[in-house]
Structure 1
Amino acid sequence: MSTLHYIFDPLCGWCYAVAPLLRAAHAVPGLSIALHGGGMMSGANRRSITPQWRDYVLPHDRRIAQLTGQPFGEAYFEGLLRDTTAVMDSAPPTTAILAAEELAGRGLDMAHHLQHAHYVEGRRIADQAVLQALAAELGLEAAAFTAAFERLAGEATEQHFRESRHWLARVGGQGFPTLVLEQADGALARIDVSPFLGQPEAFAAALRQQVPAADEEEMIPHCGLDGCTDA
């Protein structure tokens, strides 16, 4: 089986831009998706919302909406982006993704749900209460999610960030998102997603051309470290 490595951050706007491509890739037979959260806004890079930050991200968000049709809600533009008490921290939502993957193989579902919660609903996805609610919305059992989250928080998530950044360096990626196709023989090829923004079906078709046809038993159901740059 081939693997699509997705190096991303849940608070990266251009990762939200490629979310429809990941959904389309999830349905390609013979292809699995490996998630590598890079910790763009973790540790010393955590930050509070400020008017300056809002001014910085708005042009990117408008460009993303124009190129991809991805929705942005008023609760995000006029709520979260004006809430100077909100803190952006990549670690808790990444831990939630790891927990959802461990519990039910639903890390990608959680990543998409987090993005919708952030960019459409304007929710604080670094808050554990919000993460618990999002897990419940996905149908994950509350106690099991809490236990997995607590076990994977802290050092386990930091180790995941280190491994993800190693992947980024290994493939010569410049930031988030970076997508890399790994064939069954271990060959790696970085994918330029720019031509496919807003065209998930074309992206899936391109992947099918590169992924060997899966055997029947393999066909299973599927879905800059310093900041984002324009496409």
Structure 2
Amino acid sequence: MSPLKVEFFHDVVCGWCFVLAPRLKQLQDELNLDVQHRSFILQTSREAMVERFGSMPKAKETILSHWLSCSRAEDVKRINIEAMRQQDFEYPTGLLAGLACQTAKALGGNEGHERMFDRLQEAHLVQARNIGDRATVLAVAAEADFDPLAFATAFDQQAPQMLEEELAQGRRLGISSVPSLVIDGRYLVPGALSLEQLRQTFIQVRANQKQAQGATQ
């Protein structure tokens, strides 16, 4: 049977995306999943952060309270709340990280996008680095074995349009929160499901596919 297509819409700064990602990886081979990475950024500017949370200090306070819930839900504990709390930079939007993921996609396809997403999430949620800073993002890209010059060029020239197209794709599919999965191009599944919930969801979609194929024969 052909792989089951799973579009994983995520934002690098999202703790729940960090919780869900390893569960998808665990099931990828077990259930023959074709996981396609998609960027979907909830706040793309400082102004949007202030509008959403009231101020940048309140944004950081609120988001770190969400990190606590994410940490409790992790299968392997990695989120470092105190390290981020101690940093003096404002909590970043996901814009530069989203552009970096699209740059990685331009240079390395879906595998590149996945690798960059994982590295940036680790830099953000585990190492408490400022991924709202261009130099930091480019440094993480170099650490992820992307050529620095090629990455910087694609970041400026290709990534903005690619990101806008992917955000528009998400909106067309009804994405309004992250993480969200679109399975088989038809089933929208929001939220950080548990490993077993994910497994059963994919098994049910497979069953639906077989039932539909049987009805057409």
TM-score range, shorter chain: 0.7 to 0.9
- Correspondence for 1:228: none
How far apart in 2 are the matches of 1:14 and 1:110? 17
**2:56 maps to which of 42, 50, 55:** 50
Cα displacement (A) at 1:163: 1.9
2:25 corresponds to 1:19: no
Q: Which of these residues, 72, 78, 90, is aligned with residue 71 of structure 1?
A: 78
Shift of 1:139: 1.1
Using structure 2 for the length normalisation, give the TM-score.
0.76
Which residue in the other structure is 2:215 paired with? none
> Equivalent pairs: percent with the same residue?
23
> Aligned AA for 1:7?
F
CA contact (8 A) 1:123 1:130 kept: yes
Larger relative contact order (CA 8 Å, sep ≥ 6): 1
The corresponding residue for 1:154 is 160
1:134 to 2:137 alignment: no
Equivalent pair of 1:125/1:131 in contact (CA under 8 Å)? yes
Tell me if the contact between 2:96 and 2:133 (Cα under 8 Å) persists in the aligned partners.
yes
User: Which residues of structure 2 form unaligned runs of 5+?
Assistant: 208-217
In structure 2, relative to structure 1, the CA distance for the partners of 1:65 and 1:133 (3 Å cut) is same
For the 8 Å contact 1:46–1:90, the answer to whether it is kept is no
CA apart distance, 1:87: 5.4
Cα displacement (A) at 1:174: 4.4
Q: Which amino acid aligns with 1:207?
A: F
Partner of 2:189: 191
1:114 to 113, 117, 120: 120
The amino acid across from 1:86 in the alignment is E
Output aligned runs, 1:199-214, within 5 Å.
199=195, 203=198, 207=202, 210-211=205-206
Amino acid at match of 1:101: K
Q: What per-residue deviation string (whole Å, max 9, x for no partner) do you get for residues 17-51 of structure 1?
A: 21222322443464222222122111442559833
Is the CA contact (8 Å cut-off) linking 2:179 and 2:192 kept in structure 1? Answer: no
Compute the displacement of 1:119 (Å): 1.0
Measured in 1, the distance between the counterparts of 2:95 and 2:192 equals 27
List 4+ stretches of structure 1 deviating above 4 A. 46-49, 192-195, 208-212
Contact 2:138 2:148 in 1 (8 A): yes
Count of aligned pairs: 197
Do the aligned partners of residues 190 and 159 (structure 1) sit closer, same or farther apart at CA in structure 2, a change above 3 Å counting? closer
Structure ranking higher in helix proportion = 2
Which residue of structure 1 lines up, in the alignment, with residue 96 of structure 2? 92
TM-score, normalization by structure 1: 0.72
| CA deviation after TM superposition for structure 1 residue 129, in Å | 1.1
